[in-house]
């Protein structure tokens, strides 16, 4: 799936083929926002896109330097959302060059808050878009399981 890309994941995602979580997909497809939030709080796996960002190109187009970065979008009103995807297919529909990094939804929500984002935008290229923000974003982040 996803042009031959694999989701090499932390132990919680071992064996992940990159398909969407079935319960999360069903809730999204039925328009069940509460079901989506429940599955996200339960730790559904999302894929955070990582892309190469060019830092500099040497004179004459020689050596260049770049770094890898997660992606967020900024709306006209200044609100920023971290991108996440339910599957490698929905990620590839947005940008086939992006690389998937698997993480649980609570970890993604917590990372968004730690980075000062206002939300998480799920499957921005469709087929079904979902925005996680406000109190719902905080509730999902609070469900984060930590190894203490």
pLDDT averages per 10-residue partition of the chain, 148 residues: 45 76 96 96 95 68 65 88 96 93 96 95 95 96 71
At 129, give phi and psi (nearest 5°): -90, 150
User: What's the rounded Cα separation, in Å, for the pair 113 and 140?
Assistant: 11
**pTM of the full predicted structure?**
0.81
Q: Is the dihedral of CA 14, 50, 98, 137 positive or negative?
A: positive
Contact 107, 120 (CB under 8 A): no
Contact 3, 94 (CB under 8 A): no
Beta strands in 20-89 (DSSP E): 45-57, 64-70, 72-74, 80-84
Q: According to the model, what pLDDT value does residue 2 have?
A: 44
pLDDT in tens, 7-50: 444 456 667 889 999 999 999 999 999 999 999 999 999 999 98
Contact 117, 83 (CB under 8 A): no
Buried b (16+ CB within 10 A) or exposed e, 43-73: bbbbbbbeeeeeeeeeeeeeeeeeeeebbbe
């Amino acid at each position: 799936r996803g042009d031959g890309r694999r989701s090499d994941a932390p132990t919680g995602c071992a064996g992940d083929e990159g398909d969407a979580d079935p319960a999360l997909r069903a809730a999204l497809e039925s328009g069940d926002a509460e079901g989506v939030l429940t599955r996200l709080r339960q730790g559904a796996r999302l894929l955070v896109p990582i892309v190469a960002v060019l830092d500099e190109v040497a004179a004459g187009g020689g050596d260049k330097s770049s770094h890898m970065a997660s992606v967020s979008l900024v709306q006209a009103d200044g609100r920023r959302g971290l991108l996440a995807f339910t599957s490698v297919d929905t990620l590839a529909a947005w940008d086939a060059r992006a690389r998937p990094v698997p993480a649980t939804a609570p970890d993604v929500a917590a990372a968004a808050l730690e980075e000062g984002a206002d939300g998480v935008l799920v499957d921005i290229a469709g087929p079904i878009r979902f925005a996680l923000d406000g109190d719902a974003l905080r509730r999902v982040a609070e469900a984060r399981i930590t190894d203490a």
